[in-house]
Amino acid sequence: MKKLLSLFFLIVLSKFSFSQSGAPEMADAMRSSGKIYVVACVAAIVMIGLIVYLVTIDRKVSKLEREIKSRKKTS
């Protein structure tokens, strides 16, 4: 019984020390696989930003085109 108890303690202790040596694991996808997801996110944000910028330029040009068209009609 004593042997069994000490074995149990050893197992618990080893478990405990194992969890202490490793970093505290949190359910956080952004930190897994060397934080590559962060890089993917940053690149995606840059891409989205550039695309939004291009879309606004595109719309601005469309507005100018409409303006010129309407001026052509009135004059």
Partner 1 sequence: MNIQKNWWKFLAIILLLYTVIMGFLGEVPAREILNETIRNLYFHVPMWFGMMTLLFISVVYGIRYLSSGKTDDDIIAREAAHAGVAMGILGLITGSLWARYTWGTWWTQDTKLNGAAITMLIYFAYFVLRGSVEDEQKKARLSAVYSIFAFVMMVVFILILPRMEDSLHPGNGGNPGFNKYDLDSKMRMVFYPAVLGWILLGVWILNVRVRITRIEEQILNDYSGMKDQIL
Interacting residues with partner 1 (CB under 8 A) = 36-37, 39-40, 43-44, 46-48, 51, 54-55, 57-59, 61-62, 64-65, 68
Q: What is the CA radius of gyration of the chain?
A: 31
SS3 content of the chain, % helix, strand, coil (to 5): 85, 0, 15
When the beta carbons of 7 and 55 are compared against partner 1, the nearer one is 55
Nearest distance, CB of residue 75 and partner 1, angstroms: 9
CB of 61 to partner 1, least distance (A): 5
Max intra-chain CA distance, the chain:
105
- The residue (of 11 and 68) whose beta carbon lies closer to partner 1 is 68
